[in-house]
Structure 1
Amino acid sequence: MSEAYEHENNSIGKIEIAPEVIQIISGIAADSVEGVIGLSGGATANINQLLGRKNLRKGIHVDLGDQLSVQLAIVVQYGYNIPDVGRKVQEEVKAAIENMTGLFVDNVSVRVDGIKMPSADNRENETGSPRVQ
């Protein structure tokens, strides 16, 4: 993944977009979809998340071969329709990459790696009731 995608070569020079940039754009777009609790990136990434370190590249693979394809692994909040959330992630990731980079995204594959209950803080904020201490 160290190779950059050469986007444009003009009289001033060239513009290259690193795969890590596409991973971050994809992570932000996926994380913004309602029903997505987070990205899934294996045991190390999950431990980092528990420690409060957010890595928007985890669980995302970018292939810059002949066609640009992105594979994401997500965790969905319990109660949401999984296929609907997956489709929305595909749409948001594709649109974000294309709008920000000008690249055409051929394929966005989404794998749901888990389902989680919302945290107690999130449930209290949704109901509007104050937290009892």
Structure 2
Amino acid sequence: MTKKVTELESGKIKISEDVYATIASITALDTKGVHHMSTTFNDGVNTFFRRKTDHEGVKISFNDDGAIVVVLYISIAYGYRIPDIALRLQERIKTALVNYTEIEVEAVDIVVQDIIFDDFGPECSLSMEE
């Protein structure tokens, strides 16, 4: 597990990737229009081997300078504009990460994997059979 290390006069602070992923996940789920976090292939493999995490759909990496790159895999509720939600998510997650951890954020990438229609009932769902 990669950790970001901040050195101070009184010692070092190490923040785990899981902390960054949790902050991003909570912020995303608290954003209007985000239905839920989607799973990735790695999340599916981890679930198969019973290593489920609380931050499915979040991938964290760091560049050579120590700046963080966040990739979110989300499902959006029907009726919301995808570009608006993606932009709002990028801004909110960057702000949350900087406020809580003071890390430099290089990028917040949003991958919309699904649109959820269940809030409108079964008559609004789309099917490939029609």
TM-score normalized with structure 1 length: 0.75
Partner of 1:5: 4
Structure 2 gaps, min length 5: 121-130
Paired with 1:24 and 1:32, the residues of 2 have a C-alpha distance of: 12
Q: Which of 29, 37, 42 is matched with 2:35 structurally?
A: 37
Letter of the 1:111 counterpart:
V
Paired with 2:90 and 2:54, the residues of 1 have a C-alpha distance of: 16
1:11 is displaced (CA, Å) by 3.4
1:76 is displaced (CA, Å) by 0.2
1:106 is displaced (CA, Å) by 1.1
Counting matched residue pairs gives 112
Letter of the 1:4 counterpart:
K
Q: How does 1:1-133 map to 2 (within 5 A)?
A: 2-7=1-6, 9-42=7-40, 56-66=54-64, 67-119=67-119
SS at match of 1:6: strand
> Over residues 14-53 of structure 1, what are the superposed CA-to-partner deviations in whole Å (9 max), with x where a residue is unaligned?
10110110000000111111000011014766xx8xxxxx
- Percent identity between matched residues is 30
1:56 is displaced (CA, Å) by 4.2
SS at match of 1:61: strand
TM-score normalized with structure 2 length: 0.77
Structure 1 gaps, min length 5: 49-53, 121-133
Runs of 4+ aligned structure 1 residues displaced above 3 Å come to 42-45
Structure 1 residues 84 and 24: alpha-carbon distance in aligned structure 2, compared to 1, 3 A threshold:
same
Structure 1 residues 40 and 31: alpha-carbon distance in aligned structure 2, compared to 1, 3 A threshold:
same
